Amino acid sequence: MEWSKRATGIEIGDTVAYSRRFLQSTGQYTGEAPHARGKVTGLSAVAGLVLVEIDWSGADLPARVNAKNLSRVKDGVVLDRD
């Protein structure tokens, strides 16, 4: 099993969203970020962080996000790890 998969539970091909904890800590209650969903296209480990590469399907959001700030989405339900 790959280190990044063990550390995050996020795999290439998963649908992800920003986690509730991240959105609340940054005060993002409205706008694109709380409603955005994207497909994971890659994972990379950089300086002890797992960066997730995401295709947000047209949303103007960063293409690389720290895995700790994301939650998986399955069948339309956000699976928060909090």
pLDDT score of 75 more than 90: no
At 38-68, the pLDDT tens digits run: 999 999 998 889 999 999 988 899 999 999 9
Give dist(CA 7, CA 53) in Å, integer. Answer: 16
Q: What is the pTM of this model?
A: 0.85
Residues ≥6 apart with Cβ < 8 Å to 26: none
Structure tokens at 53: 């590469």
Domains of the chain with CATH codes? 3-77 (2.30.30.30)
Mean pLDDT, the chain, integer: 87
